[in-house]
Structure 1
Amino acid sequence: MNLLSVTQVFCRKLTRPPGLLLFHVLNNCWFLVQTDKMSRYLTELYQNNMKSSGEDLLTAIIPLMNLLSLTAIGLVLAHPKTQIIPRATFKLLSKLVFALFLPCLIFTELGESTTLENFAQWWFIPINVLISTAIGCFLGYLVVIICRPPPQFKRFTIIMTAFGNTGNLPLAIVGSVCHTADNPFGPHCHSRGVAYVSFSSWVSVILVYTLVYHMMEPPLEYYEIIEEGVEIEEEQAVNDASRPLLVEAEWPGIEDKETEHSKTPFIARTFQSISNVSESSFPDIEVLGEGGRNSPRSSPRSIRCLAEPKVMRRIRIVAEQTPIQHILQPPTIASLLAIIIGTVPQLKALFFGYDVPLSFVTDSLEILGGAMVPSVMLMLGGMLAEGPIDSTLGLRTTVGISIARLLVLPVLGIGIVALSDKMNLLVQVDAMYRFVLLLQYTMPSAILLGAIASLRGYAVGKASSLLFWQHVFALLSLSLYIVIYFKIISYV
């Protein structure tokens, strides 16, 4: 439209009645105002969305950056080139965490959050640990098929894929996430998060000291080879003072827990008859089953009127050699005490609340528990500073375990938690509850597996090396999945 046409239209409008002219002017002004409002609204909406996405990203990343900073400090302090703090100090720190800081944190947070009502509502937390372990076993079996590790490490591959860290590292992540003021979990973030993580850890402890303990025994067909010295360096590492920190991190003083049969394929010897292994290398099963190691061999078996069935006798012998007593470690005892006190109102009224008689006890324990997260991350930095140990497990198997554990399993975990929520199995309107369930699928392999490997004298160097690389890769995978969890937590 040229200038002449615009002038003609304007002149025609001027010749119209004043009322009609005023109407056209107001109509055009209203259209311009609404257009301006819509433009401002769309611009503001876009900016808010961009700001919200940026804030969500920062909310998810900053807690991990805090943990990375603590880990980096520990790595610098313990690095062999600096040696600002010696290894012995980190070993003492691991003992403090295991025997003092962690139990204090568990008792104060779990005891305060636990009631008889929510104790019944949390039943899916330990079940989720079992589900994640079962799925991990399946993924480990697939890793064995695809990556084909050395035959003597097939069980080891499945174990390292199946059992994740459900203790120290999740507690550190929860503590760091709740430390930020704009966390998405509300004012009671820390107490609920620690309570949920602590409530799940005892299941993993039971599995490790029973199922994993026996699965990590030296393979029967390779036992003589190990004795003859193929893995002499590993055996020396177990008994030497230079034992890797990764091995002792969650079970300090493990060398004091060794028994006569802890480094032998005892369960395989019990349930299988073998001809190619010297009988002198193994205990006499019949003697062990009839009265312990001090029973005389010459005791006549014919006088036993009610002979125990052979299968039941073998099961009993294996059960007697299971280190079930090690389950009652300080963190587990703290969990049991917290659950008992929390579910009994009369006892809870003595320890938790304002102006209660024993508030000074819980206050002192709470102060000690506050040192747990920084101590754990400093200790992790000290472990990583030692670097990986040479391993014959193979690069393909190491990568396969890490991908299955750190990338594939979390994706399956999202589906499991979402399905459980659809079936109304989860606590309603509790984002932290879902976050902890998802974390159980995201953790690297449990450091306690390195301690069990050391106790059984089986694949100690492989476990230490694999744990090192998994925790290095976990820095990236955790960053990725925590951002994803923060995005989807309201939809799961």
Structure 2
Amino acid sequence: MELWRLFVAASVPVLKVLLLTAVGSFLATSRVNILVKDARKHLNLVTFFVFNPTLVYSSLSSTITFKLMVSLWFMPINILLTFLLGSLLGWAVIQITRAPSSLRSLIFGCCSAGNLGYMLIIIIPAICKEKHSPFGNPEVCNKLGLAYSSLSMALGVIFMWMYVYNIMRMSLSKKTTEDDEINGIPEVTPQPEALREQTSTMVSGSVKLITFLKKMSGKANLKKLLAPSTIGAIIGFIVGVIPPFRRALTGEGAPLRVIQDSAVLLGNGAIPTVILVMGGNLLRGFRGSEIRVPIIIGIIVVRYIALPLLGIAVVKGAIRFGLVHKDPLYNFILLLQFAVPPALNISTMAQLFGAGESECSVIFLWAYGLASVSLTLWSTFFMWLVS
């Protein structure tokens, strides 16, 4: 009976995501024809430049404090491990399936980057409201859960745009050939035979070093390290942890609360917009693509079997060695970070680059279709494990 109650509590937020996804798919059908391709692309741009950064900012600034950040110091390490372990498993999928080079970055992205923001912000409050939730008082659970989820989302955004974006950009961007061009390398003038033998190794090494550094600087696209969501996270951290800024912007008596309220209004549009667009994109998955079935199976196994099992080992090990305090809700979120489906921003990146969209749609069709079962089962097990 206890497991059944936990199962019911875990299934509610997943059903909400499925309903919104179904609405997005319906709006994108040829009969309704509202969420057409151009509309989804423009909504993605609005989400990228407006909704995402304001959601990250408003969530962090209103919930994160310096004291709370200190107590949650293990979460960045936990999220980093999800990316690193996911990347290693993604590399294994590529080797086993012999995936074509055009899909390797997409596989890396789907395996390494999980939906660390939207899913948690949807799941945690819904679970806290359930009568059979193991996390105690609903109001306290909701407040702490929002703080934990906001930090998870902010860290996930930073890792996403600093790491996954540049990996995907290397092979999905249509301008990779321009990025790979090396200009300005000095030519080596002919030298006498005596000197040529002594300096050939030095010249060759220096040219290779210059070439490598220019390739990396071109591919890294350092400007994108400060994507709008990353900037929103930085500002949110500053406002949250510095008391004068926090008092000026957050709270009912804050003199500049209109700024905070406006950010909250804009940020509230992020989650429904992204899920609706995802629902529209999933229709492309029904039409199929050239992606092979073993690749899809590999990504599903990584995200819904291998990573959650590794997550249990990581979190339980951290608790055992005293690295994580025994807060059931905090432990639950750390575990859940290993079990979420691929990040929705991967689809956004594919659309921004204008490549890999059909393959991404097929992957997301299966990943989010199975997430309704996987997330419910893992959430039930994780709640039992921490309670």
Q: Give the shorter-chain TM-score range.
A: 0.7 to 0.9
User: CA, structure 1 residues 444+66, in 2 after alignment: closer, same or farther (shift >3 Å)?
Assistant: closer
**1:317 CA drift (Å):** 0.5
Distance in 1, Cα, partners of 2:81 & 2:55 = 26
AA aligned to 2:50 is: L
Listed as ranges, the matches of 1:330-349 within 5 Å are 330-349=228-247
User: CA, structure 1 residues 452+369, in 2 after alignment: closer, same or farther (shift >3 Å)?
Assistant: closer
Q: Deviations over 1:163-194 (max 9, x none)?
A: 33334444443454456576544241453133
Which one has a larger percent helix, Structure 1 or Structure 2? 2
Distance in 2, Cα, partners of 1:184 & 1:61 = 15
2:176 is equivalent to residue 262 of structure 1: yes
Partner of 1:192: 147
Distance in 2, Cα, partners of 1:142 & 1:390 = 24
Distance in 2, Cα, partners of 1:263 & 1:177 = 48
User: CA, structure 1 residues 158+301, in 2 after alignment: closer, same or farther (shift >3 Å)?
Assistant: farther
SS in 2 for 1:355: coil
Contact 2:117–2:154 under 8 Å retained in 1: no
Which stretches in structure 1 are left out of the alignment for 5+ residues? Answer: 1-49, 218-257, 267-282, 291-296
Question: Which deviates more, 391-400 or 158-167?
Answer: 158-167
Distance in 1, Cα, partners of 2:163 & 2:273 = 26
How many equivalent pairs are there?
369
Partner of 2:372: 475
**1:419 CA drift (Å):** 1.0
Which stretches in structure 2 are left out of the alignment for 5+ residues? Answer: 136-140, 192-201
2:306 is aligned, of 392, 408, 425, to 408
Partner of 2:195: none
Q: Deviations over 1:111-147 (max 9, x none)?
A: 1222223323333222222212222233233334444
Distance in 2, Cα, partners of 1:317 & 1:144 = 27
User: CA, structure 1 residues 311+376, in 2 after alignment: closer, same or farther (shift >3 Å)?
Assistant: same
Contact 1:74–1:380 under 8 Å retained in 2: yes
Contact 1:137–1:158 under 8 Å retained in 2: yes
Distance in 2, Cα, partners of 1:158 & 1:336 = 26
Distance in 2, Cα, partners of 1:412 & 1:162 = 13
**1:383 CA drift (Å):** 1.7
User: CA, structure 1 residues 432+318, in 2 after alignment: closer, same or farther (shift >3 Å)?
Assistant: farther
SS in 1 for 2:339: coil
Computed over aligned residues only, the root mean square deviation of the Cα atoms, in angstroms, reads 3.3
Partner of 1:328: 226
User: CA, structure 1 residues 116+435, in 2 after alignment: closer, same or farther (shift >3 Å)?
Assistant: same
Distance in 1, Cα, partners of 2:364 & 2:35 = 22
**1:207 CA drift (Å):** 0.8
Question: Which deviates more, 466-475 or 346-355?
Answer: 466-475
**1:91 CA drift (Å):** 3.4
User: CA, structure 1 residues 98+489, in 2 after alignment: closer, same or farther (shift >3 Å)?
Assistant: farther
2:163 is equivalent to residue 207 of structure 1: yes
User: CA, structure 1 residues 311+174, in 2 after alignment: closer, same or farther (shift >3 Å)?
Assistant: farther
**1:470 CA drift (Å):** 1.8
**1:362 CA drift (Å):** 1.3
User: CA, structure 1 residues 174+155, in 2 after alignment: closer, same or farther (shift >3 Å)?
Assistant: same
Listed as ranges, the matches of 1:71-470 within 5 Å are 71-150=21-100, 153=103, 157-174=107-124, 176-178=126-128, 183-185=133-135, 186-201=141-156, 202-214=158-170, 216=171, 261-263=175-177, 266=180, 283=181, 285=182, 287-289=183-185, 309-321=206-218, 322-388=220-286, 390-426=288-324, 428-450=325-347, 452=349, 459=356, 461-470=358-367
Contact 1:112–1:352 under 8 Å retained in 2: yes
The TM-score, its normalising length taken from structure 1, stands at 0.66
**1:425 CA drift (Å):** 1.6
Contact 1:178–1:189 under 8 Å retained in 2: no
Distance in 1, Cα, partners of 2:232 & 2:57 = 5
Contact 2:250–2:260 under 8 Å retained in 1: yes
**1:338 CA drift (Å):** 0.8
2:9 is aligned, of 46, 59, 76, to 59
AA aligned to 1:91 is: K
User: CA, structure 1 residues 411+393, in 2 after alignment: closer, same or farther (shift >3 Å)?
Assistant: same
User: CA, structure 1 residues 179+336, in 2 after alignment: closer, same or farther (shift >3 Å)?
Assistant: farther
